[in-house]
């Protein structure tokens, strides 16, 4: 199943690239961005759920605070409710169905 998803993704990328106009594709971006003072939360839908970004700025050259909330970490918090009344073997199956990425939950 995953292999077919990857093949479809490659087809989509190829279609998008074929639709790009010719010529230069880069733009000048300043090396240091200074976001205005305050906080912001942005989210992107990923293959395993919502990926969240939290940024606090004090108008300095780097963020005062930056936090990434990965979907696997949030999905894992529901494991207890999904395994109530089940056995250890059931927990293994449930964990596999959540499709957790260990690198996302290693804190």
Q: Give the pLDDT confidence of 57-98 residue by residue, as tens digits.
A: 998 888 899 999 999 888 888 888 888 998 888 888 888 888
Provide the sign of the torsion angle of the four alpha carbons 64, 69, 33, 59, taken in this order: negative
pTM above 0.85, yes or no: no
Element (DSSP H or E) covering residue 94: helix 88-98
Helices (H) and strands (E) in the chain, counts: 5, 3
What is the rounded end-to-end Cα distance, in angstroms, of the chain?
30
Q: Residue 30: helix, strand or coil by DSSP? A: coil
């Amino acid at each position: 199943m995953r292999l077919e998803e990857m093949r479809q993704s490659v087809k989509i990328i190829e279609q998008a690239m074929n639709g790009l106009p010719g010529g230069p594709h880069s733009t000048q971006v300043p090396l240091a961005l200074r976001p205005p003072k305050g906080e912001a939360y942005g989210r992107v839908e990923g293959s395993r759920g919502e990926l969240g970004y939290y940024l606090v700025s004090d108008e300095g050259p780097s963020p005062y605070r930056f936090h990434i909330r990965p979907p696997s970490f949030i999905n894992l918090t529901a494991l207890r409710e999904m395994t109530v009344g089940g056995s250890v073997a059931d927990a293994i199956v449930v964990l596999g169905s959540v499709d957790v990425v260990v690198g996302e939950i290693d804190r």
